[in-house]
Amino acid sequence: MQPLIHPMRQRQPVLTGWRWAALMWAMVAASAMAQNAPAPAIGASEAQASSAKADAPNPMLNAVTQRGIQQCAARVEQLSRAIGMGPQTSGMLIAPAQPVDQRLFSIALLQPVRDNEPGFVGIDFAPNQANGCGAAMQAVAYWPQGCEALAAGQMTKLKKLPLIRPDVLVLDGGPNTKVFLLKAGASGCVSIKKEVVL
């Protein structure tokens, strides 16, 4: 399958550790907004959580609408702006079979985190939901510090939940958001943020 989402032409800084934390919080904000309001019209700037301009071309939105996916177009616009797609972002649409506007589809994105190391953001979109289009997002990133340090630092506002395994921390970002911290290598940590946008 060939990539259908290409980097934007505007220049944006690479996401550093604190910017990646901001990306994760932007996803929480997008979820909170989606919980309380219908998906905005395409091009609305209310959900914008990045420095990208609201009138800038949105390659993620273009990829889905060119395939005939209209029912989730507003949600695609909302979430792609909220996660801060920029010129360093690349991705791929995993398009559904016909009828494309009635089936679940997915978008996989690579976002630079630190020193051009990629972080992964996956978003699954489901049309025909009570809110018009539901979505589930996953953000995966490697951190050089340990999981305990990460939980106490960049993710200090999230509540620790009981351990599901001795080597996995679980943080609570609300009823629809959980962050799993897994030990990686000798001293690193992989964060997996899972969020459902109802």
**10 is written with which tokens?**
């505007």
pLDDT at 50 over 60: no
Is the pLDDT score of 196 beyond 70?
A: yes
pLDDT at position 15 is 34
Q: Measured between alpha carbons, how far is 155 from 162 in angstroms, rounded to an integer?
A: 16
> Of 59, 30, 26, 55, whose CA–CA distance to 43 is shortest?
55
What is the C-alpha to C-alpha distance for residues 17 and 112, in angstroms, rounded to an integer?
Answer: 10
Q: Which residue has the higher pLDDT, 17 or 117?
A: 117
If one compares 137 and 1, the residue with the highest pLDDT of the two is 137
Helices and strands of the chain, counted as H and E runs: 4, 8
Is pLDDT above 80 for 123? Answer: yes
pLDDT at 55: 59
How much is the pLDDT for 114?
A: 72
Confidence (pTM): 0.70
Give 16's pLDDT tier (boundaries 50, 70, 90). Answer: very low
* Whether the predicted pLDDT of 164 surpasses 50: yes
pLDDT per position as a tens digit, 20-41: 343 443 443 333 333 433 332 2
Reported confidence tier of residue 198, pLDDT bands at 50, 70, 90: confident
**What average pLDDT score do residues 75-101 get?**
87
Q: Quick check: 154 and 165 in contact, CB under 8 A?
A: no
Between 58 and 7, the higher pLDDT residue:
58
158-170 average pLDDT score: 91
Q: Is the pLDDT of residue 99 over 80?
A: yes
DSSP line for 83-108: TT--TT-EEEEEPPPSSGGGS-EEEE
Q: Is 29 helix (H, G, I), strand (E, B) or coil?
A: helix
How deeply is 165 buried, as exposed, middle or buried, from its count of CB atoms within 10 A (0-12, 13-18, 19+)? exposed
Structure-block tokens of residue 97: 């079979």
CA dist list (Å): 161 to 22, 172, 178: 22, 6, 9
Indicate the residue type of 60: M
